[in-house]
C-alpha cells in the first residue's frame, strides 16, 4: 500500500514537471510591459493606440483590451498607413512574443512603441480583458 502511494506521488511529480510550461526568453528590443505599465498607458487613451496582432479566432476565444486595432502580425507591414504616428503604441498578442516582434518592426519604421503586452499575462496579473461575442451566423432566407 505504501509502495503504491509512493509510486503515485512520483508519477504525479514527473507529470507535473512535464506539464509545466517553459517561459520563452525575451529576444526583442521592444519592452515587455506588465499590468501596471499597461494600465498607466491606457489611462491616457488620447495618447495611445493598442494594436492586437492575433488572429480573429484568438481575439474571440481569449479577448482583448476594450479598444484596439486588429492587424494580424503577417499583415502589419502592409497596413502601416493606418497606424497613427502621433501616439504611443502597445502591441498585443497572447504571451507578448508576436507583439514583441511587431513592436520591433514598428520601431524600425519610426513608430513610437511603448511596449508589448500579452493579454493572457495581463489577465493573470489581475487585469480585466474584454470578451468578444461574435454575431450569430446569418441564416439563409
Strand partners, 91: 51, 116
Tens-digit pLDDT profile for residues 41-100:
999 999 999 999 999 999 989 989 988 999 999 999 999 999 999 999 999 999 999 999
pLDDT at res. 134: 77
* pTM score, whole prediction: 0.79
Alpha-carbon gap, residue 138 to 57, rounded angstroms: 18
* Domains, the chain: 28-124 (3.40.250.10)
Query: Which tops the pLDDT comparison, 88 or 4?
Result: 88
What spatial distance separates the first Cα and last Cα of the chain, rounded to whole Å?
66
How would you class 120 by CB atoms within 10 Å of its CB: exposed for 0-12, middle for 13-18, buried for 19 or more? middle
Contact criterion met (CB below 8 Å) for 25 and 97: no
Return d(Cα 71, Cα 136) in angstroms, integer. Answer: 23
Amino acid at each position: 500500500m505504501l509502495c503504491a502511494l509512493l509510486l503515485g506521488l512520483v508519477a504525479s511529480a514527473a507529470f507535473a514537471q512535464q506539464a509545466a510550461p517553459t517561459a520563452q526568453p525575451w529576444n526583442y528590443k521592444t519592452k515587455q510591459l506588465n499590468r501596471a505599465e499597461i494600465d498607466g498607458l491606457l489611462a491616457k487613451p488620447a495618447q495611445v493606440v493598442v494594436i492586437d496582432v492575433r488572429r480573429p479566432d484568438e481575439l474571440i476565444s481569449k479577448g482583448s483590451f476594450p479598444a484596439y486595432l486588429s492587424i494580424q502580425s503577417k499583415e502589419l507591414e502592409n497596413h502601416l498607413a493606418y497606424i497613427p504616428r502621433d501616439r504611443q503604441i502597445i502591441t498585443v498578442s497572447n504571451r507578448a512574443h508576436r507583439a514583441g516582434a511587431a513592436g520591433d518592426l514598428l520601431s524600425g519604421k519610426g513608430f513610437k512603441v511603448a511596449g508589448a503586452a500579452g493579454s493572457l499575462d495581463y489577465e493573470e496579473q489581475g487585469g480585466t480583458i474584454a470578451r468578444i461575442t461574435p454575431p450569430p451566423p446569418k441564416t439563409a432566407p
